[in-house]
Amino acid sequence: MTQQNPLAFSTRRSLLVAGAAALAAPMVLRAQSPAKVIRIGSPDLGTAGKPSPGGSVFAVLQANKWLEDEFAKDGIKIEWNFFRGAGPAVHEALSAKQLDIVSLGDLAAVIGRARGLPTRFIAATGRGSNSYLATAPGVSIKTVADLKGKKVTVLKGTAYQRTFDNLLATAGLTEKDVKLINMDWPTSKAAVVAGQIDATFGGSDLFLLKPQGVQIALSTKGRGPDYTINSGILATEDFVAQNPQLTQRLVTQLVRAAHWSSQEGNREALIKLYADNSGNPELSFREELAGDNLNARYSPLLDEGFIAGYQGVLDDGVKLGLIRQTFDVKAWFQPAFVQQALKDLKLDKQWRETDAAGKAKGAA
């Protein structure tokens, strides 16, 4: 039985627990007794009392209970933990050694690694997600320049902060030019509906607010990779080292979910699954996926293009002052698990690798 048990933290814990020396140490796979519980963490992108990782391959795993089915024969339980505080709250749980596997957007994952969290990147779960600006009833914002002086909420430390900052830059603005408020997603939605703020910036779940007079004024759709969000699965170094076989089985189920999600014939079923699992309207997912090639969006490959995207996130984070320390991005990724899963599931030809520019290899 899946446990949906959000972890609460009364104080912030240091993210430097592991120390730089531990991060530099080589990975050594060692056989030990397998874990009896796999503790999974994700930002809570659900609503209406439905904790959910939102619209990603991870939601397919959660909704179908494929991980529970995979590990039940070994007596291994799957524990799902969802965090309203998103990336920063997930980081705290990782620092406290209360999670084994986490799903995060690109900026949050990079910030955690840069701050010393000992993780390994083991699979991609989504590419090219967009962001949206929702305005309060009666507030008119038609261009990025119109944001100057406006009271806007963004959940800092999440992938949306980077795309928001990059969007501001297109009009020569920075965070200092707006009245930026750090607020979690449920609270920001309530605030924009009530007119307590001018606008909030986040994901496609903001379409949920349209019946209440909220307008989607701006979108990052079609603006290019600097304005989109990638996401993936991280495992703690301890979990990978102590449970390599369990890690492989988990990634294999993830690749299975990615394959199902990549089928154009499953588009409507996927949208319905996302909506049912998260409590968000089908409209939000339909708008987000409109025009997308599902096979490209849900490729689990840790290829050159995906890794280069995370290097870009790190570089942007440093430039924007969101990250102070850098690290070896390429060494962070561990693609062997996905590669083995592709062989086991006979999906070697399903997805095309991308080059450092993000272009499919072999494309004209």
State residue 12's pLDDT score: 37
Domain match, 85 and 192 both: no
Domain match, 253 and 271 both: yes
Q: What is the pLDDT of residues 238-292, one digit of tens each?
A: 999 999 999 999 999 999 999 999 999 999 999 999 998 888 888 889 988 988 8
26 has a pLDDT exceeding 50: no
* Count of structural domains within the chain: 2
Domain match, 176 and 251 both: no
On average, the pLDDT of the chain sits at 87
**Domain C-terminal end among 226, 250, 266:** 226
The whole domain housing 167 covers 132-226
Q: Which residue carries 């990025």 as its tokens?
A: 144
Of the candidate ranges 31-35, 171-175, 220-224, the one whose mean pLDDT is the lowest: 31-35
95 has a pLDDT exceeding 70: yes
**Domain C-terminal end among 226, 256, 271:** 226
| Closest CA relative to residue 244, chosen from 37, 29, 75, 26 | 29
Domain match, 111 and 257 both: yes
Please name the residue ranges forming H helices in the chain: 19-24, 57-64, 66-72, 86-95, 106-114, 159-169, 185-193, 237-242, 244-261, 267-278, 282-289, 294-297, 304-319, 329-332, 336-344
What Rg, from alpha-carbon coordinates, does the chain have? 20
Domain match, 108 and 64 both: yes
* CATH number for 171: 3.40.190.10
Asked if residue 355 belongs to a domain, the reply is no
How much of the chain is in helix, strand and coil states, percent to nearest 5?
45, 20, 40
Asked if residue 165 belongs to a domain, the reply is yes
Domain match, 11 and 106 both: yes
State residue 31's pLDDT score: 47
Pairwise CA distance, residues 173 & 33, whole Å: 54
